[in-house]
Amino acid sequence: MHDYDDMERLLRESLNQVAADMSDRDRKDVVEYLDFGEYGIAYELLTFILDRERIDRPDSLRKAGCKMAKDD
C-alpha cells in the first residue's frame, strides 16, 4: 500500500505544479481518476495533456512514471 500512497502523492504533486497552466476541465478529469485510485489512467491523461499543451513535465511526474514501470 505504501507504493500506492507514494505514487498518489507524486501524481498530485505533479498536478499541483502544472494546474495553473491547464484548463479546469482537464484538471478536474485528472483529479477524478486520482480520487478513484486510477493512478495509471491519471498518469496517462496528465502526460497527454502536458504534451498537448507543451508544458514541461515536473520531476515528480517522472518519478511516478518510474515507480509505475517498476510495478509492471
pLDDT digits (tens, 9 = 90+) for 3-59: 889 999 999 999 999 999 999 999 999 999 999 999 999 999 999 999 999 999 999
Q: Rounded to two decimals, what is the model's pTM?
A: 0.91
Give DSSP secondary structure letters for 3-50. HHHHHHHHHHHHHHHHGGGS-HHHHHHHHHHHHTT-HHHHHHHHHHHH
> If pLDDT is split at 50, 70 and 90, which confidence band does 68 have?
confident
Check residue 70 and give its pLDDT.
65
Check residue 71 and give its pLDDT.
58
Check residue 29 and give its pLDDT.
98
